[in-house]
Structure 1
Amino acid sequence: MHVTASHPPDLPEPRTGYPTGSPADGGTLLALGIELHRVRGCLLENIAGVYRLAAWQTIPRLGERHLADQVAALCRQMGSRLGRRLWDDDAHRPLLHSSDPTRHPPIEQMAFVLSPRPPLRVWVAALSRGNSLEAARLAVGGSAAQLQGMTVLGVDGNAAALAQALGQHRPDLLLLVGGYDLPDAVSPVQALAGVAAAALQQQPRRGRPAVIFAGNRFAAAAVEQTLAAVEGLTVAVAPNVLAAPLRLYPGMVAAALDEHYWRLCRRLDGFGLLGEWTANPATITTPAASFTRLIQTWMQLHQLPELHGIYCAERWMHVWAEEGRPNPLVFLTDADPAQAAP
């Protein structure tokens, strides 16, 4: 399994690059992490051609306040500690330009690592207790999502069980899986979509989860049409999580889950401003993408055949990189030392 970390769709293109010039080409770099409960800042200064840590600051997240206000609070506190101006009160943004660069040197590069919302709450519905269900579990575990539960409907399933689960747990997203990619095996999958649509109709319009279908691709168009008939429903189609025996694609489904997470992030006040403050080669990225890049870089630097890294935060992120494997394994678990890597 591999996970390709997604990026905010409002950016013109994914920007995963790191500074390509020599260290002497750059000035002050400010990296900010906006998490669910805190905001972190790291200020790096170019000293004799080498970037060195100048300051590190962590403050509590200010609830649902505008993201720019939260960045401002961190910049002001960090600047006060350093005796340096990092926030432009007139422009209401970080000090990216300065009329007096000697007294008030500007920030030349900014980067953001974002996980500002709780994990995406996902409920999985499948035709049977089989490999598709386990592949879906892998997809959710490798994304910015958290598995709330599963419902096995069967070919003759009724909507009552699924409707009850959705009403009780109120997930952000319903993931539908089932069926290999076979053109003559679409009927059971279409029946699954009908059951799901009936269950979704029973939910309040504002409380209906989005839906991603990741089953038999030959049934995808009909499934999407069935689900689109439910008023106000957001429907997306991803590659089949289990296209054939031993052909698992959880990474592609994980990427689709991450895209939906980013769509929800874009609704946060001030999210769009962050992209305006960054400049190439700085970036907006995710904790998964940043930590995966760190593990790959460390492994290459020390010429290790493999490396297992664990990022301990609200959820633990396991990254397993191996020589010759272009895409490391990424899996998230609850913050429990007893949890094992995949």
Structure 2
Amino acid sequence: MEQQARNLRSILTHLERQETLDEVASDCIAVEFERLKKQSMKYRMDKTFPTKTAEKQENVKKNRYKDIVPFDHSRVKLTFTTSKNDTDYINASFIKGVSGSRAYVATQGPLPHTVVDFLRMLWEYKIEVIVMACREFEMGKKKCELYWPQKQEETFDCKPFTVHCDSEENKGDYLTRTLRLTYRNCSRTLKQLHYVNWPDHGVPDTIPPILDMLHEMRIYQDHDDIPICIHCSAGCGRTGALCAIDYTWNLLRKQMITSDFDIYYLVQDMRTQRPSVVQTKEQYLLVYRTIKLLFQRYLHSMDAHTYQNEVSNYGKTHF
């Protein structure tokens, strides 16, 4: 634990120095992000990670954005079929977690004709938690097709699936819904955390609600044995930021933050699994600042714990 604290203090010093430079002179975080973009462009130009399945004629119409498509090596394949027209393609990618398993499904917001594929994916991979980081409409444009009923007394039907919303709770910046997905005579309960105050291509005004939502997410599922489904509109920018933050938080929980921990390499590695993860400079800076707050909170709690132990031991010694 002491080694973890030393590593965190060292990393925090580095992060604070970078932020100072970013504001005053060299804009080094922006320079880092430009390096990420150039690396991703090189991947695309060299076809380092092929996207042949996404580019098939029958699959092109299933992509919300033509430049955000899953790599063949990390794409989510659907083997569970509900009709003769079902294929194995969905615009979704697996992203590895701390243990190396498929911790996240990063996916686009469903289109009208891919909602059934989205529900097939939830069913096949036994998804228990969905995080949605966009609104249905943003800037006057449709960003995601609804896949649950807007009123609790209603039912959302997408044959052969039915979705009920058993509860909805407003947490301020996000909503928590309990959804019930039914296929034939079987039903499963899913938790959906819907962050509604994250503007497209922008960032939220405050950081703590993001951490509140991710904390609640991990209350519902504290393991990576099955993937957590995270989506926005394209499934890369806001989705990628949440994956990077949660991944780091898991390292912290397991006391696996090493002295060479580096946000740049974390995001770069995720970009080899899903294109354009953490899509904008503003989102990249948000990841920096959120991880910085995580580390500060962790050290503060450690210091408070140490103080409590010292007071307790002092009491035993002197009274």
Question: TM-score, length-normalised on structure 2?
Answer: 0.29
Higher relative strand content: 1
Higher relative helix content: 2
Q: Which has the larger radius of gyration?
A: 1
